Amino acid sequence: MPEAMNGAESLVRTLVAGGVEVCFTNPGTSEMHFVAALDRVEGMACLLFLFEGGATGAADGYGRMADKPASTLLHLGPGLANGLANLHNARRARSMIVNIVGEHATYHREYDAPLTSDIEALAGTVSAWIRTGTGADAIARDGAEAIAAARTAPGGIATLILPADTAWNPGGGIAPVPAVPERARVSDDAVAEAAAALAAGPALLFLGDRAVRGAGKDIAARIARKTGAKLMAMQANARIDRGADSVPVERLPYPIDQAIAALAPYRRVILVGATRPVGFFAYPGKPSVLTHPEAETLTLARPEEDQIEALKRLSAAVGAPEGLAGTRLPRPALPGSERLEDDAIGQVLGALIPEGAVICDESLTTGRNFFAATHGAAPHSWLQFSGGAIGLGIPLATGAAVACPGRKVVNLQADGSALYTAQALWTQARERLDVVTLIWSNRAYAILRGELANVGAHNPGPKAVGMLSLDDPPVDWVSLARGYGVAAERVETLPAFTDVLRQALSARGPFLIEVVL
């Protein structure tokens, strides 16, 4: 007699029926029934990570590229805690994730066993929706509602906490996913106000979310051409589709003085999928809000609203013509210089980024010019580190590669940040994922050297300088990558970088290049 479907199997079948095809996991005892159910159900790939931050960052990368949720599977409070930093980034990117966290059996929690902790409190800091399962017969329905919650615009993290007995007791069968509401249409007033602002003088269309994907930028560019407005993207964006065939749009700079200067000319700032530009950090004597003190900020479309449709209506309201004059940029050439410097590296990237690539950018200081240098590169998607929690790049690239098996993934990666979650390289090796990781090995928290001065901590002494230095001992990235089973090479000159990158891009499978700066 076949066993009845248990709660775990009912949940896995519900996830698969609801379009959740991948589980990024680092499981433990309380998740064993979910893991076992994966073998009884077709249609759910399961990828193991050595550290939970890899799994959650991969779910973020997958969500950004697939526009649908993957699931995670994490082990109680500490497993969730290890994944929280990248869930924080995913929340800021508004990635859809069905975040499943194992928990003690319902009746066991009161005994305060060693792993017991307040999972809901942890999950509350990153989740758009949270539920703790109460019974195996309802856990499939809980999972179906989690899928709907994750997919509801603007997209978010739905955390389903799964007590072990809701997995092992008899389940209630597959549950249908509730209807997900369409993105809301913006009001006529919002369009009219934006049109009036554009008519009043130099305005800024500040773009984020869906407005920086293909159609959004094209329509915004038509509006700008008609009205004289300037286009600018947020400092950090979940995904920008860009390259030679699309409108080049600069981003708000990260350094606060540059950001204030970039926004200074505009007295009207129109948000389209973007949030108001504020300082990444506070700095003594500098403002939190970065727009000009007299600037008015208005919203055409919030992130959860239909930004493309709003842009179309605004385009019509201002009478922007259809079609766009040729914006095709020349493909960047390889640099003439031989020096391995940031600008030259940007030029190499502009020349070599392959068509259809997915760029996962956690370059920080090294990469400040890479975006500008790659406007004319072959068409690609550019995924940024979005919530300020460093350690996203390697996991993000891993998840993007799972979502896009036919596209080359290139991870532009600061060394200090890479060291938080380098374990995800092992998953790239295990899954033979097509990711090239470029480590900018400056052996420092270079960004903090500038920040020491920016916050007014001048003349740092040896202890402070030591806290920003990673050169004693230098991390040997080639050894580290090989330790995780990923082939790697070190380059110290621009020609070597160009050659090795070209080879890595033409091969398949994971490869890491330590670029010594």
Where in 103-132 is the site for a second copy (CB under 8 A)? 104-105, 107-108, 111-115, 117-118, 121-122, 124-126
Q: Which of residues 208-247 bind a second copy (CB under 8 A)?
A: 236
Query: Within positions 265 to 294, which residues make up the interface with a second copy, using CB under 8 A?
Result: 275-276, 278-282, 284, 288-289
The three-state secondary structure class of 183 is coil
- In the complex, minimum distance from the CB of residue 276 to a second copy, in angstroms, rounded to a whole number: 8
Q: Which two tokens stand for residue 486?
A: 């990923």
**How many Å from the N-terminal Cα to the C-terminal Cα in the chain?**
65
Least Å distance, CB 222 to a second copy, is 30
* Block residue for tokens 């609801």: 18
Rule CB under 8 A: say whether 487 interacts with a second copy.
Answer: no
Nearer to a second copy, 196 or 282 (CB): 282
Residues in the chain: 517
Shortest reach from residue 331's CB to a second copy, in Å:
33
Angle, helices 342-352/494-506, rounded to nearest 10 degrees: 30
Stretch that binds a second copy, among 201-209, 348-356, 369-377, 463-471 (CB under 8 A): 463-471
| Min dist. Cβ of residue 473 to a second copy (A) | 3
**Phi/psi of residue 72, each to 5°?**
-110, 170
Q: Is 74 an interacting residue with respect to a second copy (CB under 8 A)?
A: no
Alpha-carbon gap, residue 52 to 72, rounded angstroms: 9
Query: What is the rounded CA–CA span in Å between residue 495 and residue 482?
Result: 23
Taking CB under 8 A as the criterion, the residue among 16, 324, 452, 496 binding a second copy is 452
Strands 203-207 and 268-272: parallel
CB of 467 to a second copy, least distance (A): 5
CA-to-CA distance for 247 and 238, rounded, in angstroms?
A: 17
Contact range with a second copy by CB under 8 A, out of 80-88, 215-223, 237-245, 312-320: 80-88
Cα separations in angstroms, 113 against 2, 161, 191, 246, 423: 34, 17, 56, 56, 29
The minimum distance between CB 348 and a second copy, in angstroms, equals: 26
Task: Please count the other Cβ atoms lying within 10 Å of the Cβ belonging to residue 71.
Answer: 31
DSSP label of 243: S
Side chain identity at 392, as an amino acid letter?
A: L
Tokens 């990635």 belong to 95
Binds a second copy by CB under 8 A, chosen from 5, 11, 84, 148: 84
Tell me which residues in 419-448 interact with a second copy (CB under 8 A). Answer: 419-420, 422-423, 426, 429-430, 447-448
Size of the site for a second copy (CB under 8 A): 100
Question: Could you tell me which residues come within 8 angstroms of residue 57 by beta carbon, excluding any fewer than 6 positions away?
Answer: 86, 89, 90, 391, 392, 394, 395, 396, 398, 399, 421, 424
Nearer to a second copy, 19 or 485 (CB): 485
Q: How far is the CB of 206 from a second copy (least distance, A)?
A: 15
| In contact, 256 and 283? CB cutoff 8 Å | yes
Pick 32 or 505: Cβ nearer a second copy = 32
Site mask, a second copy, residues 366-405, x = CB under 8 A? Answer: --------------------xxxx-x--------------
What is the Cα–Cα distance from 180 to 171, expressed in whole angstroms?
Answer: 24
- Residue recorded with tokens 């090995």: 441
Select the span of 135-143, 149-157, 298-306, 475-483 touching a second copy (CB under 8 A). Answer: 475-483
Using alpha carbons, list the distances in angstroms from residue 282 to 147, 388, 447. Answer: 37, 14, 15
By C-beta, is 15 or 318 nearer to a second copy?
Answer: 15
**Footprint of a second copy on 164-183 (CB under 8 A):** 164-165, 168
Pick the closest to residue 14 from 180, 176, 178 (CA basis). 176
Of 454, 496, 505, 509, the residue at the interface with a second copy (CB under 8 A) is: 454
Strand partners, 71: 23, 98
Q: Which is nearer to a second copy, 173 or 466 (CB)?
A: 466
- β-bridge pairing 380-384 and 357-362: parallel
Residue 149 or 422 with smaller CB distance to a second copy: 422
Residues 444, 226: Cα–Cα separation, whole Å: 46
Residues 330-369 that bind a second copy (CB under 8 A): none
Nearer to a second copy, 27 or 332 (CB): 27
> What is the smallest separation between the CB atom of 499 and a second copy, expressed in angstroms?
24
Rounded CA separation 353/414 (Å) = 18
The site map against a second copy for 14-43 (x = CB under 8 A) is: -----------x-xxxx-xx-xx-xxx---
Is residue 317 a contact point for a second copy (CB under 8 A)? no
Stretch 128-167: interaction string toward a second copy, x if CB under 8 A: ------------------------------------xx--
Cβ 235 to a second copy shortest distance, Å: 8
